[in-house]
Amino acid sequence: MGIAKRFLFAIPALALLAYVVTGVMSLVFSEGVRLQRVGEHLADPELWYTVGLTLKVSFLALFLSWVFAWLVLVVLKGRGIAVFRFFSVLPGMAYALFVLLVLRAVGAESPYSMGSVLIAWVLAGTLYLCSGISEGIRDLGPRGKEALRTLGAGPVRAFFHHEFSGTRPLQGALLLQQLWFFLTSFSLVMILGGGPPSETLEVAIYSAMRLGQSDVSKAVALSLVQALILILLRFSLNRLGSAKPARGISEGFGESGKKRSSLGISVVILFCLGGLVFLGPKVGDARAYLRPLFVTLALGASVLGATLLFSISSYVSGIRFASVIGSWCSPLFLSLALWSFSGFLISPFVNVALIQTLFFAPWFSQIVFPLLDRAQRSEMEAARVLGAGRIRAFFEVEWPRIRGGVIRVLGLVFALSATEVSSVLLFSRGDFDTLASHSQNLFSRFRIEEAAFGVMAMLLLSAVSLGLGERRA
Amino acid sequence: MRDLEIRNFKVLLPGFSVSCDDLRVCPGEWLMVRAPSGYGKSTLFRGILGLESTEGEVILGGARMTEVPVHRRNFGVVFQEQLLFPHLNALENALFGIRLRRSVTEKDRRRAQDAFAELDLSHRMDAPLHELSGGERQRIALIRALLFDPDLLLIDEPFRGMDDALISKSRGLLERHLSTKSVPVIWITHQNEFEPLRAKVLIGGELNHGRRHFQYHPGQSQAD
Amino acid sequence: MKWLFLCLAAAGLTLAGCTRSKDAGPSLGILSYSSLGSSGGFLPGVAERFKQQSGCSLRLESTLGATQMVSLLSDRGLRGTIDVVMGVDELLQERLKGEWVQDEFPELKLRESLLPLLSDRVRPGWIPIDYGALTFIYRKSAWKGVVPPRALRDLLRPEFRKKFILQDPRASSPGMLFFLFSQDSLKIPELRNSWLTLAPSWDSSYQMFLSGDAPMVWSYLSSLAYHASKGEGDEYGAVMFEEGLPLQVEGMGIVRQERVNPCVRKWIEFMMDPQVLREIAEKQWMWPAFKGVVLPRFFDRVPGVQKSAKFRMDVKTLDDLLSRFGKEIRDGDR
């Protein structure tokens, strides 16, 4: 591709990069930051205590999640695993509340501690790793294992050399992603951690910038350490090899897996509908939810469009890191930095859509870019030789291959957008509400049943979105 | 009549090049390209198709193909790896070339069905790709290359994996097609699969490290 | 492709719909950060009425929290459109007092109109609007046979260990007020093992309390009115500390601008209207700061504040507490 064309494609990605860099620089070089103060914070034992605690609990949660994920996979043999994917869009608060319910039921004296955070993280991690690894195993297909068995490998060795070793790069990618979730986990730690000193880096950043004192130097110091950890992790785990989802046709597992996933999501949808019907009479005027619902849909659609645009731009132009910039640093710090730059400069709706795009574009890159990397060059050439131009060859040959992954991730991004609340609260300036922010506002005014109604509507929307993504994939 | 002319032709790859003598192939004539494995046959093939950087000229019916984009050259190609599309079934793969040019008509479907019947594939028309054997895919790739009436045929070891009976039927299909629409044929092989009557031969050899050259032997149909 | 186009079109329409139109005529820019400014909150509810009475339309802005508000007001370019800031409590007032006009509006007779409890709380450019008394709300059924705490030191008794929820002072004003209130009676390291958790906000702490995680939560005395409105008035009680109760007073700050917006005084007078103050009380469950307001009947269930606690609340004290908070917590763990 010529330089001029490449530059044209790069414009959206470059614009996003410029936006992020300008925002962060404007905060870092604002009056609130002193390099000397940043240095003092970096030398503060309190900061390193927080770092140590974060890493200890994160790595322990990661290890336990990985072990439990394999146990679940072996025991269930892939049955019902597809349903787990739905839980990946639930906010951390949902896991926190579930763990609290369970701990209360078993009579735990003190449910608020890093131990509870660990339990919630292991639960979330196990579900996520299970669904990811099971997809990888499905993509491997049975032929390799059959070959191992005919060569003389028993069940255990065949399992190790096929399912386990065959998904090693994928496991590395999933573990990295899950570790990122842990390191940037916020509401879950805030609720379950019990307050200081049980706080992770993300919570510490929030605390440094939340109330009046506005110690941006401390937030900058914490963010630097967190970014360094994420960079080191990414490089070291990438050496395992990038996740290579195999191409191709389902070999019997795909169809039944899809049916199980559809069944699970249908159950969740029915549950949400039941909740809405039950709460309906307590809500009064349900029309108050119509505008937030419409805004949620429009915002989700905008975020989808922007995510596609930025991701394609960064892939085609080669500036891939632009699409994953949101995953390299603290989402909270990024939000606050961008607010300080553009909070009152850009229209609120655009602000919210941009920040959500930054958060969710890495999902798109992680799932779709490896598929694009494995473009079947020979088949593309065959299509071109047979008479298809470049774009038509892409849509005739490559799009059918990657369509499943793209649609699935778009369904996921929509669901994530529908349940995201902090970006709306931060950037909307009261101009509009989504279902999530509307529910949050109701809750803060004691209107619990109405808030629960909004949460049910939100969950229903995300379940429908995921379900559509599964079915059309 | 659309003759194929190749002049001062060289395919350029990093550290490697493949060239051939100047030659002319008339419609109905066959150009057999022979060399052991790894000598650059496929590279030459790709160069003529326009998939690699080249020097020199490839002229078909007076038109300079080197100035025409790949997808507009109207070449019928049977690839060594078949390169059928896994998301399409057998019949859809065969009709793919037509679909890229115009709407598929009932006549096209009948032609395809006739070709399938001739190659013992009638019962496989709706089969997904992963259910087809190597030999079946080979035959479908041949049908695909012929159905849209190309101006030049390039065929890379199309009879691999076939028994004698199927080779005979495939040759019959090819020769029948050429009798109605006579076009030049370039045929890549490294073994004696068959010997057409009007065949010219390019035989590959190594000049020195990194340079391969194919010499033209008019009328020779024996492998070296 | 057509779905993408439809999505983009829908987004464009929503963008247009979400962009506020500029009203012609005089207007008042109001910034808030509490639930005051959100949909269904007090401010959007009175915008139309204020316009009819005064001829001034409201331009509402809201931020997520105090930090954003501080950041916004310290930016000379951005603050130009803001005339009034609502929901400013005394803690935030301490930080922002340099941004207000230096006028106590004596002609409005604010001090005489305020409740005696609050008449000395007027500051230049800052007017109290409503207030709440903070204390522990408890579930009576959980304290059978146990006497609720009477003094702050009682919180260290074994029967209250892990039985109450506080808020993180770095993230929550009620939480900060607790630690300021208790700074002379209780040391953080000794209190550390007594609380069940430091919740990130009053919202989440109260939800934990309602869910049964702990029988007692640091909250507003007027929460009893809310429970009364739900028919649960007899189930909850409030601790009346002998040290008195800290008051959280929220008010509005009048932003210092080059030219005084004539709508500002109209807004102040509007906010002193007893009917308007009653609406605030109904939505926010806080007491109005001014006299002459007839409260919803559920407020009858709330005991009066006999003694308001006095404690240091200056910026230096705040910053000192915040800077040593983490370390003292860890000291309490050892």
- pLDDT tens-digit profile, chain A (473 residues): 677 878 888 888 888 888 888 888 887 777 666 778 888 889 988 889 999 999 999 999 999 999 999 999 988 877 767 667 666 667 777 787 788 878 888 888 778 889 999 999 999 999 889 988 988 888 777 777 777 766 667 778 878 878 888 888 788 878 887 888 888 888 788 878 887 778 898 888 877 776 555 567 888 888 889 888 877 877 776 665 544 333 332 223 345 556 666 777 777 788 788 888 887 777 777 788 888 999 999 999 999 999 988 998 988 888 888 887 777 777 777 887 888 788 777 888 998 999 999 988 887 887 788 888 877 788 888 999 999 998 898 888 888 888 888 888 888 888 888 888 878 877 887 778 898 888 877 776 667 778 778 878 887 888 888 777 767 66
Same domain as A306, residue A273: yes
Q: What is the mean pLDDT of residues C106-120?
A: 85
Nearest to A298 among C14, C171, C327 (CB): C14
Domains C25-131+249-299 and C132-247+304-333 share a fold: yes
CATH superfamily entry for domain B4-74+150-217: P-loop containing nucleotide triphosphate hydrolases (3.40.50.300)
d(CA A272, CA A351): 30
Same domain as A108, residue A27: no
Q: For chain C, give the mean pLDDT.
A: 85
Show the 3-state SS of chain C.
CHHHHHHHHHHHHHHHHHCCCCCCCCEEEEEECCCCCCCCCHHHHHHHHHHHHHCCEEEEEECCCHHHHHHHHCCCCHHHHCCEEEEEEHHHHHHHHHHECCCCCHHHCHHHHECHHHCCCCECCEEEEEEEEEEEEEEHHHHCCCCCCCCHHHHHCHHHCCCEEEECCCCCHHHHHHHHHHCCCCCHHHHCCCEEEEECCHHHHHHHHHCCCCCEEEEECCHHHHHHHCCCHHHEEECCCCCCECEEEEEEEEECCCCCCHHHHHHHHHHCCHHHHHHHHHHHCCEECECCCCCCHHHHHCCCCCCECCCCCCHHHHHHHHHHHHHHHHHHHC
Report how far apart the first and last C-alpha atoms of chain A are (Å, whole number). Answer: 30
d(CA C186, CA C196): 16
Query: Which of A202, A218, A245 is a domain's end point?
Result: A245
What is residue A446's predicted lDDT score, i.e. its pLDDT?
A: 63
Q: What is the CATH number of the domain that holds A355?
A: 1.10.3720.10
What's the length of chain A? Answer: 473
Q: Tens of pLDDT along B17-30?
A: 888 888 888 888 88
Determine the structural domain holding residue A301 and report its residue range.
1-31+247-473
Q: Tens of pLDDT along C195-243?
A: 998 887 888 888 889 888 899 999 999 999 989 988 998 999 999 999 9
Query: Which of A221, A245, A269 is a domain's end point?
Result: A245
Q: What are the DSSP calls for B27-86, one per residue?
A: TT-EEEEE--TTSSHHHHHHHHHTSSEEEEEEEETTEEGGGS-GGGS-EEEE-TT----T
Same domain as A232, residue A153: yes
Q: B135-153 b/e with 16+ CB inside 10 Å = b?
A: bbbbbbbbbbbbbbebbbb
Sequence-separated (6 or more) residues with CB below 8 Å from residue B93 = B84, B85, B129, B140, B141, B144
Q: Tens of pLDDT along A195-224?
A: 777 889 888 887 777 655 556 788 888 888
d(CA A100, CA A111): 7
Same domain as A224, residue A281: no
Nearest to B49 among A248, A385, A388 (CB): A385
Classify domain C132-247+304-333 by CATH number. 3.40.190.10
Sequence-separated (6 or more) residues with CB below 8 Å from residue A420 = A91, A356, A359, A434, A436
Q: Tens of pLDDT along A274-306?
A: 888 887 777 777 788 888 999 999 999 999 999
Q: Is some CB atom of chain A closer than 8 A to the CB atom of C68?
A: yes
What is residue A378's predicted lDDT score, i.e. its pLDDT?
A: 85
Q: Under a CB-based contact definition with an 8 Å cutoff, are residues B166 and B119 in contact? A: yes
Q: Is some CB atom of chain A closer than 8 A to the CB atom of C171?
A: yes
Residue B222: is its pLDDT beyond 50? Answer: no
Residue A428 parent element (H or E): none
CATH superfamily entry for domain C25-131+249-299: Periplasmic binding protein-like II (3.40.190.10)
Task: Rounding to the nearest 10 degrees, give the CA dihedral for residues C90, C94, C95, C98.
Answer: 120
d(CA A21, CA C156): 49
Residue A401 corresponds to which amino acid? R
Q: What are phi and psi of B9, to 5 degrees?
A: -85, 135
Q: Under a CB-based contact definition with an 8 Å cutoff, are residues B57 and B8 in contact? A: yes
Q: Please report the beta strands in chain B, taking only residues with DSSP state E, as ranges in sequence order.
A: 4-13, 16-20, 23-25, 30-34, 53-60, 63-64, 75-78, 152-156, 185-189, 199-208, 211-217
Q: Is some CB atom of chain A closer than 8 A to the CB atom of B16?
A: no
d(CA A389, CA C312): 76
As for the ipTM of the complex, it is: 0.77
Q: Tens of pLDDT along C294-310?
A: 998 899 889 988 888 98
pLDDT-derived band at B104 (thresholds 50, 70, 90) equals very high
Q: Is some CB atom of chain B closer than 8 A to the CB atom of A391?
A: no
Q: Is some CB atom of chain C closer than 8 A to the CB atom of A164?
A: no
Q: What are phi and psi of A244, to 5 degrees?
A: -120, 85
Residue C197 corresponds to which tokens in the numbers above?
Answer: 């958790």
**Is C14's CB within 8 Å of A299's CB?**
yes
What is residue B221's predicted lDDT score, i.e. its pLDDT?
A: 43
Q: Is some CB atom of chain A closer than 8 A to the CB atom of B80?
A: no
Structural domain total, chain A: 2
d(CA A381, CA A387): 10
Q: Under a CB-based contact definition with an 8 Å cutoff, are residues A431 and C20 in contact? A: yes
Please, which chains are in contact with B (at least 3 CB pairs closer than 8 A)?
Answer: A
Among A61-65, B84-88, B132-136, B198-202, which is the least confidently predicted range? B198-202
Residue A246 CB coordination number (10 Å): 12
- DSSP-derived 3-state class of residue B156: strand
Q: Name the residue ranges covered by the structural domains of chain C.
A: 25-131+249-299, 132-247+304-333
Q: For chain B, give the mean pLDDT.
A: 84
Same domain as A353, residue A466: yes
pLDDT-derived band at C61 (thresholds 50, 70, 90) equals confident
d(CA C209, CA C199): 11
What is residue B33's predicted lDDT score, i.e. its pLDDT?
A: 87
Residue B53: is its pLDDT beyond 60? Answer: yes
d(CA C290, CA B97): 84
What is residue C182's predicted lDDT score, i.e. its pLDDT?
A: 94
Chain C contacts of A206, Cβ < 8 Å?
171
Same domain as A302, residue A261: yes
**Is B130's CB within 8 Å of A248's CB?**
yes
d(CA A90, CA A63): 22
Nearest to A213 among C62, C72, C322 (CB): C322
Q: Name the residue ranges covered by the structural domains of chain B.
A: 4-74+150-217, 88-141
Nearest to B77 among A248, A385, A388 (CB): A385
Q: What are phi and psi of C265, to 5 degrees?
A: -65, -35
- Residue B22 is classified by DSSP as -
